[in-house]
A and B are shown apart, each in its own frame.
Chain A
């Protein structure tokens, strides 16, 4: 059971006088009244009450209140698995920093400065996270427009070369937001690191070896790294700001494009959060279908990790074999949802279509074949002496690092912390199927490799059990909950029934007003815990949607672990952390 129990809250209320406790069905938080007390409260929660696992920190903007910004921490107790939120108002846009208590708060505070313009006492010289250094505005404030402020004239070069003067399409605009020059980018790069060694090497923004557009700066002494820094923001598309302007059901295709390797798992976390807010119950068949597709996408994502991780370290054949299996899974998903990669398959209240005829036979054939292919991958890599030399005892992450930096997923399980949201707070059909969780003990790259290979085997077991359950169900079971007022009815009903047509018209045009309140709900992505926090004021679009992304916090441990190692170890460590840039930058 995920939220803090009544005994814990009583004990906290006895120790501190000036707090209020707020209990909602899916959100429990402590309101701190005086800003100066926050450091003492966090230290007490961490040392005495054992809430030592840092999950998230974010800011909400209320332009009409006296102190404009509200900061919020989310903490977890890793022994009893209880979760608690702590809220505090900023005073004159300032707050004491939390980076001495939880080291993972350093990156979260930099992101809050970049997006809102708030400052932290004790965290001097805070730098921007996503935008470049001389950027003048703070994007997530409520008075900044979504399209930015168009400042310069930037026509399309193909039209200029052909000599056209008519606009090529009905929404073409010559005025564009400000694009930085090379000098401003260089200024950002030089301000990040002060050189102490012989040479500063760029592992550049557009390099085929990093998994996406990340920018690493290495300060080298010979071949060994003295200090390093990561520059993010090369794929920052502003998804949290888009969510404040559109309805809840329209945001669903955007969640596919965050962690683009496992699209159905992202949609599942988002749809769970909205269903908890509006109290919608999902029928049984839809739960089994969602579980089956989420586990197939988990196998998909781990196969890509295997192919590209081995490719970076020199094993070139595994890449082609892994992509052959990925094509098979994409065929199954294309036959049901319609698209290979970014399939908008789930809907609020159920799934979009029923399963197509023949899916269960094809899926059974795939799973039977997959066990023998998994043995082949083990035979190629697991006891190979070159692989062992490159991955054993490289990049060791301790248990204390896991709690301080907020690492989740296979990175945490490889170091011995058994934290898996599918078992702690079961959603979809995970409480009806039987599987194990693999846990390692040293925490090096070899352990994380073994954990992910074992997870692929367990996912195949879950898919087999879901297929058995779906075969036994009768033909015309419902796959979407039609009776709830916030769910759009399926197409056949809209054509034949007048009431359903009016209901669909009302939801699409005006939007369905969700009840007021807050909710935080998270699901287990292949990379870690993906959480959605929704603050709703009773309208049809959220007031603030915060995406707690797993790859962002997983990547923040990289500068600490890589000190005194060589560059080739940096490549192996990055492959085993497995970040996806669409999710770190959103």
Chain B
């Protein structure tokens, strides 16, 4: 049974309304009420809005420092890691999961003692969809996305990121984001200019 609601159209003005311009006066009172409210502008270079915990910004690599998940410890013997450098195992899952086939460029070499080492990891951010499928596919919690969203450059070659920038992001920015609680916003005070005071239950 479909519940319909036939709309009521009162589409012609009565004689009192059209002579005294009551429709214009009603509209103008609404505008005047909005004039007296506080402005909701965030003045950009002086006040910034920090993105929430789940934001998908510039990519980063977590480094090998002792906080790895159990899935990395299973294949640790086959790789040669250095403390402070990235923990990528060159499984190529991120490259396969990405909808764009030419975005990643990963190269790994075989060391003389039989282990593998990653030498090149380039990503072309100008072709990226920022969908997060590569982060979901990484099995050892290496690839991640930080909260950097200010990425304007002057030349096309500056928009390609390499492994050393990603390690720096992973060691500083992405690490702070990982430790945060899973709340909807990070900083309530910045959002109060738009929302007003929100009552929290916890």
A and B touch in the complex (CB under 8 A): yes
CB-CB nearest in chain A for B103:
A171
Tell me if A362 is interfacial: C-beta within 8 Å of chain B.
Answer: yes
> What are 28 A-B pairs at a CB distance below 8 A?
A158-B156, A169-B160, A170-B160, A171-B103, A171-B127, A250-B98, A250-B133, A321-B34, A335-B52, A339-B130, A356-B52, A356-B53, A357-B202, A358-B183, A361-B200, A362-B184, A362-B195, A365-B198, A380-B31, A385-B23, A388-B11, A418-B4, A420-B2, A437-B2, A439-B5, A440-B7, A494-B71, A504-B137
What is the CA–CA distance of A45 and B201 in the complex, to the nearest angstrom?
59
The 10 closest A-B pairs by CB, nearest first: A335-B184, A495-B69, A168-B157, A171-B102, A253-B131, A168-B156, A338-B54, A358-B184, A436-B5, A356-B184
Segment of A31-39, A324-332, A521-529, A575-583 in the binding face = A324-332
B9 within 8 A of A: yes
Within 8 Å by CB of A365, from B24, B71, B199, lies: B199
Residues on the A chain within 8 Å of B116, using CB:
none
Chain A residues closer than 8 Å to B38, beta-carbon distance: none
Q: A253-B133, A365-B199, A437-B3 are in contact. List 18 more A-B contacts (CB 8 A).
A: A170-B122, A170-B160, A172-B156, A246-B99, A331-B185, A335-B54, A338-B55, A344-B132, A344-B133, A356-B183, A357-B183, A358-B200, A383-B10, A436-B3, A438-B4, A440-B7, A446-B9, A495-B70
Most buried by A among B2, B12, B93, B126: B2
At the interface, yes or no: B109 with Cβ under 8 Å from chain A?
no
Q: Convert B55-86 into 0s and 1s, putting 1 for each residue whose CB lies closer than 8 angstroms to a CB of A.
A: 11000000000000111001000000000000
Q: A338-B55, A353-B54, A362-B198 are in contact. Are A439 and B4 (CB under 8 A)?
A: yes
**A376 CB-CB contact with B under 8 Å:** yes
Q: Are B156 and A159 in contact (CB under 8 A)?
A: yes
Q: Which residues of A contact B7 (CB under 8 A)?
A: 438-441, 447, 450-451, 454
Within 8 A of B (CB), among A325-377: 327-328, 331-332, 334-339, 342, 344, 353, 356-359, 361-362, 365, 376
Q: Binary interface profile of A, 283-303, with partner B (CB < 8 Å = 1, else 0)?
A: 000000000000000000000
The answer to whether A504 and B139 have CB atoms under 8 Å apart is yes
Cβ of B97 within 8 Å of any chain A Cβ, yes or no, is yes
Q: Which residues of chain B from 160 to 181 have a CB within 8 Å of any chain A CB?
A: 160, 181
State whether A379 and B30 are in contact (beta carbons under 8 Å apart), knowing that A358-B185, A437-B3, A508-B97 are contacts in the complex: yes
Known A253-B129, A359-B184; contact A488-B5, beta-carbon cutoff 8 A? no
Known: A361-B201, A441-B6. A338 touches B132 (CB 8 A): yes
A254 CB within 8 Å of chain B: yes
Interface size of A by Cβ–Cβ distance < 8 Å?
75
Report the minimal beta-carbon distance from A336 to chain B, rounded to whole angstroms. Answer: 7
Q: How far is the CB of B19 from chain A (nearest CB, A)?
A: 12
Measured between beta carbons, the chain B residues less than 8 angstroms from A384 are 23-24, 27
List which A411-446 residues lie within 8 A (CB) of chain B: 418, 420, 423-424, 435-442, 446
User: When chains A and B are docked, how far (Å) is the Cα of A252 from the Cα of B97?
Assistant: 12
A339:B55 contact, CB within 8 angstroms? yes
Instruction: Give 1 or 0 for each of A161-172: 1 = CB within 8 Å of chain B CB.
Output: 010000011111
Q: Are B99 and A253 in contact (CB under 8 A)?
A: yes
For A379, list chain B residues within 8 Å (CB): 26-27, 30
The answer to whether A92 has its CB under 8 Å from any CB of chain B is no
Judged by a CB distance under 8 angstroms, whether A496 is at the interface is yes
Q: Does A509 contact B (CB under 8 A)?
A: yes
Contact B137 A495 (CB under 8 A): no
Q: Does A317 contact B (CB under 8 A)?
A: yes
B residues within 8 Å of A by Cβ? 2-7, 9-13, 17-18, 23-24, 26-27, 30-31, 34, 40, 51-56, 69-71, 74, 93, 96-99, 102-103, 105, 122, 124, 126-127, 129-133, 136-137, 139-141, 155-157, 159-160, 181-185, 191, 194-195, 198-202
Contacts of A279 in B (CB 8 A): none
Kindly state whether residue A196 has any CB partner on chain B within 8 Å.
Answer: no
A392 adjacent to chain B (CB < 8 Å): yes
Closest to B191 in A: A331
Contact partner of A392 among B11, B18, B103, CB < 8 A? B11
Measured in the bound complex, the distance between the Cα atoms of B9 and A508 in whole Å is 55
What's the nearest-Cβ distance from chain B to residue A164, in Å? 8
Q: Is the CB of B141 within 8 A of A495?
A: yes
Highest count of chain A CB atoms <10 Å: which of B34, B54, B105, B182: B54
